[in-house]
Structure 1
């Protein structure tokens, strides 16, 4: 009996010693994890938390922590991109507002300093001031529109829309402009009605933005085209030109806020850099997508894809 009691006491002591060793080991591992995690957060955001352990719960904890570190890295990178985009956007906004305002002030100064101007010249300058003021208001309205789209304040109810008719109407709006620029219009719209899930106002604005862009940048190719086609589940609207095109490095950037191609700062290529950004947001709110492919001086194609309805 005494021997059995001694064996039990020995086993309890051994168990207590093993538990103490295990707790001490876990405490050491936990202390290492805390110190290492603090170091990573303070100075090495690209690093991961590594610990060799057979403890399954610790491995789960490590996986969770490393996922959080990965999300934190993505958040930091996203914040940096947003911050850079905001800086670039503010610089471009300042530029785009300053240019017409400077012109307006110049005309007003001329009117003030030369009271003896003829009524015809005075009227001409006032018309210039009026045109520039309208340009400023339109630019500000684009900023507000983009802000509403990105904040989710602008509701776009979706319905069944007739794509063939909308594409024809959009092309007709630009037909006179295309002809006045000496361009050829190539239209390929099927007779069979095609319907898609979308919003007429949003799609009309998106098409007008892309067509305006094609006329502005593709005029050198002397042709502007619009194709409508479909597959089993999508309706595709393609607007194309054979102008100077978009280099591959710029194709991923043209839908960003305030991004403009190099020539857009020239007088004949004026643009706010917001048209394609707004277009992308509108198309996405309709559950669609817009993409671009381009071979300079061969063909540049903007494709709007929407869900097809029977």
Structure 2
């Protein structure tokens, strides 16, 4: 009996010692995690905690911490990019508004203080002031429209739209400008009308933006095309294309960004506002569609829109 008690006591002591060692080891591990995590957060590094550990619960904890660190760094990177984008946007807004307003102020001062102007010169200056004031108004409307689209406050009523007819009417309205600019027009629209789920005003503006864009930046290719066709995925695909100078491959992912300011970018539809393609993309997405860019300089640059067939 005494021997049995001695054995049990020995086993109990061994268990206690093992538990103490395990707790001591876990305590050291938790202290390491605390110290390492504090250093990572304080220095803002992209370091991660090692997950090699025999304790399953400690390994699980380390994985969870690393996931939180990844999320924190991704969030920080997005925030830094947004801050940079906002600074660039404010700088460009200031520049885009300042340029026409400077012209307005210059002509206004001349009209006020010059006594030697002829009636014809005054009329020309007043006309230029009117043009620049309209430009400022267009810029302000563009900023306001984008703000409304991104806030989601404005509902876009979606209906069954005859996209074939809308494209015909739109290209007809641009035909004189296109021919005066020396552009050959190539249309490819099926005889049977194609209908999509969309908003007529939004689609009208999308077409305006993309056709004007192609005229402005693809005119050296001497051809502008519109292609409309059904797909095998229950969609209708619309392309506006040209054979102009195109967009460098490294810049193609950025042309839909707000206020993108690459000198040769096509994203400057509103006299340098950098909002035309951004607004176009937002409108297409609000209609449940998507827009893609493919560009091979002087071969084919196309903006392809896919919308749900209806």
SS at match of 1:227: strand
Q: Deviations over 1:248-290 (max 9, x none)?
A: 122111111111442579xx99431110011111111222111
Question: For 1:56-71, what aligned pairs fall within 5 Å after superposition?
Answer: 56-71=56-71
2:140 corresponds in structure 1 to 140
Q: Partners of 1:69 and 1:210 in 2: how far apart?
A: 42
Q: Partners of 2:68 and 2:206 in 1: how far apart?
A: 38
1:258 corresponds in structure 2 to 259
1:155 corresponds in structure 2 to 155
Q: Is the 8 A contact 2:139 2:270 kept in 1?
A: no
2:180 corresponds in structure 1 to 180
2:235 corresponds in structure 1 to 234
Q: Is the 8 A contact 1:214 1:240 kept in 2?
A: yes
Structure 1 stretches lacking a partner, 5+ long = none
SS at match of 1:244: coil
Q: How many residues get paired?
A: 308
How far has the Cα of 1:187 moved from its partner? Answer: 0.9
Q: Partners of 1:207 and 1:140 in 2: how far apart?
A: 21
1:299 corresponds in structure 2 to 300
1:288 corresponds in structure 2 to 289
Question: For 1:91-110, what aligned pairs fall within 5 Å after superposition?
Answer: 91-110=91-110
- TM-score (normalised: structure 1): 0.93
- TM-score (normalised: structure 2): 0.93
2:113 corresponds in structure 1 to 113
Q: Partners of 1:152 and 1:103 in 2: how far apart?
A: 35
1:249 corresponds in structure 2 to 250
Q: Partners of 1:279 and 1:269 in 2: how far apart?
A: 12
Measured at CA, do residues 177 and 164 of structure 1 come closer, stay the same or move farther in structure 2, by a change above 3 Å?
A: same
Q: Is the 8 A contact 1:166 1:204 kept in 2?
A: yes
SS at match of 2:280: helix
Q: Partners of 1:291 and 1:27 in 2: how far apart?
A: 55
Q: Partners of 1:263 and 1:21 in 2: how far apart?
A: 68
How far has the Cα of 1:110 moved from its partner? Answer: 0.7
Q: Partners of 2:111 and 2:264 in 1: how far apart?
A: 32
Q: Deviations over 1:88-128 (max 9, x none)?
A: 21221111111101100011011011145333332221221
Structure 2 stretches lacking a partner, 5+ long = none
How far has the Cα of 1:195 moved from its partner? Answer: 2.0
